[in-house]
Each structure stands twice: as C-alpha cells, then as structure tokens.
Amino acid sequence: MTSTIDPKTIGRPTRPRRHVRSLTGFLPEKDAAGKEKWPRGDEKEWRSALRGLDTDVGSITKSVVHHVQTSLARQPHNLDDLGAYQAAALSVRDNLILNWNETQLQYTRKAPKRAYYLSLEFLMGRTLDNALLNLGLKDEYKDGIKRLGFSIEDILEQERDAALGNGGLGRLAACYLDSSASQELPLWGYGLRYKYGIFQQLISPEGNQLEAPDPWLEHQNPWELPRLDVVYDVRFYGQAERLDGKGRAQWTGGQEVLAIAYDVMIPGYGTQTTNNLRLWESRPKRGFDLNSFNAGNYEGAVESSNSAEAITSVLYPNDHTTFGKELRLKQQYFWTAASLADILRRFKNLDKPITEFPEYAAIQLNDTHPTLAIPELMRVLIDEEELDWNTAWGIVTNTFFYTNHTVLPEALEKWPVPLIEHVLPRHMQIIYDIVSLRSFFLTRTLSDASSSRTSVERKFPHDRERLARMSLIEEGQPKQVRMAHLACIGSRKVNGVAELHSDLVRTTILKDFVEFEGISKFGNVTNGITPRRWLDQCNPELSALISKTLKLDKTVWLKDLTKLEGLLPFTEDKAFCKEWAAIKQRNKERLAHHVELTLGLKVNTNALFDVQIKRLHEYKRQTLNILGVIHRYLTLKNMTPAKRKKVVNRVVFFAGKAAPAYYIAKLTIRLIVNVARIINADPDTKDHLTLYFLPDYSVSLAEVLIPASNISQHISTAGTEASGTSNMKFCLNGGLLLGTVDGANIEIAEEVGESNVFFFGHLTPAVEDLRFQHLYHPVPLEQKCPALAHVLNQVSAGLFGDGHVYEPLLNTVRQGDYYLLSDDFDSYIAALGMVDEAYSDSEEWVKKSIRTTAKMGKFSSDRAINEYAESYWNIEKVPVTK
C-alpha cells in the first residue's frame, strides 16, 4: 500500500487540535489587589466542587448506585458481583480523575522537567484495591459496599489482572509508577495495550503447559480512559531517499498504522498526585476495503485491518518464525514512535527551542526493547526539525537513559540488518550513519557537539578487535544490529539494577565502552518494590501489627520503610513474636484455601512452606529445585517410619510461565507436575513432603503466595540474575531467603545479616572457570555428584512417567551443564538441611523472620525512584495542592 502523505506529518497528531476554553463563571478571578473573587455563589460551595467528590459512606453508596443505573444501565435489584465491582470501580475512578486532572494542570502551570518511562511490560496487577489504598478510602468503601449488600472481598475477586506483562521487568515498572506518584515526581509511563497479553497458562493431563489467549479485556475495563483525540501515524516499510549531504532523507510509501492512546491513572499514596500510564493500541489507517469486499475478496477486505491490529494483540509474539520476528520489531517501533511523538508534542506546547528538549524531558529505556527510540528521535530532529547531525545527536544523548537488565549474551537483543532495512529503512540509514563515526562518541555537552569528537579509532589506534567488539553491527550471515550497544552510546547514563550486576555490566558486556567513555557514565540503581502493594495490600494483618507496635500511622512507615528497624527490639517480646507467628500461620491457611478452591487439593498448613515463583528459565534453575525435591523424596523413601517422623515436613510451591517456544523450560514444568502426582499420593511420604505447581502465575497469585512463605528460593547461577525483586517481596513479608550469592541477594544479606540468609553455591568469579572445565576436562556425573546422578537416573528410569520424555532436559545437566547444577547440587542440598535445622527451632525462626522484615528499608522502590530522579533524570517534586 502506497501513500502520498507528507513524511513530515508522520508521528504528528492525525486530527487537528480543537480550540479549548475555560468554564467561565466557574473558576475564580483576581481583583486588582490579587484577591480571588468567586463568581455567583458561596466560596465554600465552589471550593467543595473543585476539591472533588464527597467520600463519606453515604455519598459512596449513592455514587455506586448512580453508576449501576447510568454507566452500566442496570437495576440496583438485579446486580451480580461483577456488576458491583464495575460500579464500585467507576465510582473510585471518579476520584482518580479529579486528582489526575489537578495533577496535569499543575504540571502544565509549572512546566517542570518530566521523566518518561518506556517499558514493553507493565505488570500492574489488580487496580481497585490498590486505588482504594492509595486514596485512603478502603474502610469507607468496605462499609459502603456492605451497606449495599455486597462484600468488598467478593467484588475485589471479580477484577482480572491486566495482561500487560510477564515477569520482574514489568512488575518493576509498575512499582516505579506507584513510587513516582507517591513521591510527587512528574513521571509518565508508556507501553502497549495488548489485547491478549502474553497468554493464559493451562496444564494438560500429561503435565504440559498449554497456552490460551488471555481475554482480560473481555469485560469493560474501568481503569482506562480512551483518548480518541490523541492519535499518531506510524509508518512501516516504504523507501528512504537521501536528500542532501547533511544526513537528511525522505521516508515515503509503505504501510501506515494509527496509534490510539489509552490512559491509566496512577494514584500516589498519601498525596493527591496522580500520574499517568499511556498505552498505545494499533488500528488501521484505512480499515475495511469496500472495493475488495464488493469484488468478493473478503480476506483482502480486512487484510489491512488485521495486519495493523496484530501489532498490539500479544505480548512477546513467538520470534522463532519470520512473521513473529517482524511483528516484534514492529511492536517496538510502533510503541517508541508514538511515545516520542506524544512527548515532543507536549514539549512543543511550551514554545521552547527544540535544543532545550533535554532540559524538559528525560526518557528512561527499560532494557533494550525501546532502543529504537534513539534513531527515531534522530529521524525526527534531522528530517522534520531540519537540525544538523551534531546538534541532533547532542540532543539525543542528553535525553535518553538506559537500564540494563541482563548480562546473558543470548538475552541481549539483536536485530537482523535485512529485517530493519525492510521494515524501517530510514532507521537503518541512521544506524549506519552512527557506525560511520560521523556522530559516534560525540561529547554530550551541546556546546561542544560541533567541535569536539573523539573516535574509538583515534583513542585506540590499530585495535581492530576492539572496533569490532564495539561496533553497532555484528558481522555474520546475516549481519545484526546490537541494540544494547546502541542504547549505551545513545544514552547519557547507563545503570545496572544491583551492585553485583552493575559491576558485571562494567567489567564484561560493556567493558570497552567503560574504558572509552569513562566509568562515571555507568552507575547502579538497586531495584526496589512498593511496600504499599507488597506489604500493606497483600499482608494487611502484618501491616496492622507493625503500625500498632511502632505506634506509627502506616502512612508514615509505608513512605519511609527504614522505620521498620524499630521492630528489632521486639524480637525479645514473646507476645509480639507469638502474634507475628500467628499472622504467618493465617496467611498459610489462606494459601491452602486458594489451592483447595482452584486445584481441589488439601495442603498441610503445619509444614514449612517453600516457594519459588518466577518465569521459567534455565538460569533461574527451577530444575535444580525440582531435582532437589526428588532427592528429598528418595531420601524419605529410604528412611524408616520412625525416622520420617523426625524430619521437618515441607510443602513446596512452584508458579511461573515458560515462553511458548522454550522447550526445556516447558519440560521442567512437565517434570514438576508429574513429580507432584507421584509424591503427593505416596502413603509413605505424603505427610512429610508435598509439591504443587500453581498454574497461570500472576500478581494476584503472588499476593497470596508471598505472605505465606517460610522460605523462598532465589537460586540462579551466580552472575546471571541481574537483581530480582521477588526476593525483596518475600523478605519484606518475613519469609527467609535461600539463594546463591547473586543479584540483590547479596545486598539483602548485607542488610538483614548473613545469619538470617541461607547461601550456597559457587561464587561469580568461579563460574567461567567451571564452564571451561566442563568443556575441556569433563568429569562423569556419577563421579562428580553421585547424589544428582542417582536422581537423574531415577527420572530416566520412569519413576515419574515416561523417562524418555525428559532426556533433553536431563542432558542439559549431563552434557555441558552450562548453569552448573552438578557443581552446586551438594551445596544446595546442604543448605536445605540448614533450613530444616533452623526451622526446628520455632522461636529463633520467628526472630529471624522479624529481623528480616525490619531490615528491608533499603529495598523500597521509593528509594530507587528518588535515586533516578536525583542522579539521572534531574527532576524535582511537584506537589499537588487544591
């Protein structure tokens, strides 16, 4: 499909801005002395209208009933729990909208520098409970809903998790949005409005993971506001023709897709500040082709529509196919192009020179997914704003910031050059221009941009290997664009997400860039979590106990988590310890109730609860965990009944999704499910060891699992986990940590004390040497780790079903063992034994639990977001007052 649209209009609003006016006769005017004069009526009445809605119980019930009758068009006497949820949500949203409008008005008036967080995932979880918490209206709505004949607990269960993410990357982004609003920082998030998200996970009778669409938008989503007037054109394919020797080009033809904005309000806790998450939906520029339809070509009539809408259908389409790979690239460009167009439009409303753009906007790239924003901003500045190359590059490299989330080579994004040339021909030209050293490595001070340039070749003459390592283009068939390198050179600062990870980034994957540009550009911001959702919301009894014990309102310590250290003296208070343990027990019973409702299985709540919940990946080593469970099972089988009675009873929980094309991860799930079938039915051991795989892992499921854990497992191969945030959530809720010396585990141990953590395994410096030995000096598994060899042999022999099915999984350990399961297995089993021994002393275990929670103040996302604001984005708080 070709187009004659002026290329300068691409990325600009497709509809003219309407003339806007204020509500005359409503807002106050100022007299000559500067005093407000309120029109037509009492000042108190008008201020009440401006302040917002009444939030007493009576007003809340009226508001809910109003939405039942008008928004839902239903009768109050004919309403189910879903309808009650929707009406209550719309009622709460009314309050959010007023705060949201006031926040945006404040930003418009003060014109502060703003930050924008670009993330392909935002794992928001359920919104109603969180909104009530942040608005301070939980009790009022609980009473109001009860007065209407419903239970707040029942209607909260009606909400489906927003399917906008998969794992820690998306949940981190959600926590940062919560913290930015709570800290009154002007920050917006930008993402995609996936129709189906990643997938709904089902488990077949054989134990296989099955993927089904997740229709989370099946019912009205009360938390989003369609912005049908905020629409941008995004182009794909076509031709890019150079115009002159200054780097400009004209991009024409191809396919045009509309980006439609949907806004999700993000309320702050204990503040009126309400920030925004803007999500983009893709729609066709020209949808239904009536001529094709009339000619009998029904498929052709909707082809354009289907092609456009596919862009925002599914999170992470399978890129093992050509179609899937192209679709993922289109997703990333569509999202970044629309977001940049929106950010630039907002900046231009300030009537400032485009060279001042970095003084008003800081854009954070959450991993490499949004990296195409760098050449896209260059395209806009050069082709549309007609800036010279050096000035444009100076703006770009003062605007972007890049967070790296992995040092695994296979996880660092690369895109084939021919694919980018096909889908985004103009952007490939710009990337080649960067490679050509015309702009590569310019200083980042705009005043110096035109005169001072230092190339890698000048600084390291004749070092061809270094040039090849640092190039944006990786040679091969086909050539690949290294997105991490592009993100690095196009950003003002680069950070890792834990001290160990940031050090590894500086000394491994980006070492050459550190040596060239200097270490000051490469920093660390250890991840954090929001204590509002991950303590107060998911563990309200513990939150209430903390408030009562510290004699502090929760609005104080939930925004200053270091206050938890005040719990330390109470480890010697027997009454407090008893109450702490009782809350943990009730949380375990709540989880057991969930398992019984969803799986029809009973759980022994008097056992130790051992939890590992993460996306399935070899480096996270769920395989090590399940092999450890099998080892425990075999050990129990060999014990006499008298000895079994002396062991610590254990219930093991797994939850997490495997990528649809990740065969080994899916085999791990199958093994877990089938091991559970055998050991849960074995009369010799079922009182001492049981195992559960909980399908369709989500934020809401995590909110049940995390408060119930006694121990949680974070057992990645040393040096592979960037940070982890689930480790922080478990520890904040008094669950002890079993893990490797990796990621944020290290910093957690530094805070809570290593006596309250169970570490095992080889350290990061030894990992590469061990892999070298596996490759060049392999030792038979039976000789190296007899216990593990026995476990694998039992699986192969068919103890848990057809052993041949698991051979590809078992061979990852027997042959090569890249993630060092055989090296760490004995140490892992010993650590599990240490857990048993510690848990046997129930009084000391409770003290360890209290100490762990008390020392988690560092790991609040409030601390992390303030570090970004002060040391990276240079943005300041903008309090909202009415």
All domains in the chain, ordered by first residue? 52-110+126-159 (no CATH), 111-125+161-527+867-873 (3.40.50.2000), 571-859 (3.40.50.2000)
Q: Could you tell me if 265 and 276 are in contact, meaning their C-beta atoms sit under 8 angstroms apart?
A: yes
Angstrom CA distances, 11 to 245, 377, 479, 858, stand at 24, 11, 29, 41
Distance separating alpha carbons of residues 761 and 25, to the nearest angstrom: 71
Looking at residue 442, its pLDDT comes to: 42
**Strand-strand pairing, 493-496 and 400-403:** parallel
The 10 Å Cβ neighbour count of residue 840 is 13
Element of type H or E holding 117: strand 114-118
What are the residue ranges in the chain where pLDDT is below 70? Answer: 1-52, 287-305, 437-454, 882
Looking at residue 246, its pLDDT comes to: 75
Q: Tens digit of pLDDT for each residue in 389-426?
A: 999 999 999 999 999 999 988 778 999 999 999 999 99
Q: Strands (DSSP E) along 718-843, which ranges?
A: 736-740, 757-760
346 phi and psi angles, rounded to 5 deg: -65, -40
681 phi and psi angles, rounded to 5 deg: -105, -5
**Strand-strand pairing, 29-30 and 187-192:** unpaired
Looking at residue 34, its pLDDT comes to: 60
- Token match 């995932």: residue? 121
- Token match 């907002």: residue? 346
Looking at residue 269, its pLDDT comes to: 95
Q: Which tokens go with 201?
A: 């996970």
Give catalytic residue positions: 405, 614-615, 620, 725, 729
Sign of CA dihedral 521, 524, 529, 530: negative
Region of 736 (left: φ > 0; alpha: ψ -120 to 50; beta: rest) is beta
Q: Which tokens go with 545?
A: 């106990």
Distance separating alpha carbons of residues 52 and 49, to the nearest angstrom: 6
30: helix, coil or strand?
A: strand
Looking at residue 456, its pLDDT comes to: 79
With CA atoms as reference, report the closest residue to 161 among 223, 237, 112. 223
Looking at residue 37, its pLDDT comes to: 61
Distance separating alpha carbons of residues 311 and 258, to the nearest angstrom: 11
Spell 582-609 as b/e; 16+ CB within 10 A means b.
Answer: ebbeebbeebbebbeeeeeeebbbebbb
Q: Tens digit of pLDDT for each residue in 578-594?
A: 999 999 999 999 999 99
Q: Which tokens go with 106?
A: 């404040």
Q: Strands (DSSP E) along 285-394, which ranges?
A: 361-366
**Strand-strand pairing, 711-714 and 608-613:** parallel
Looking at residue 156, its pLDDT comes to: 93
- pTM of whole model > 0.95? no
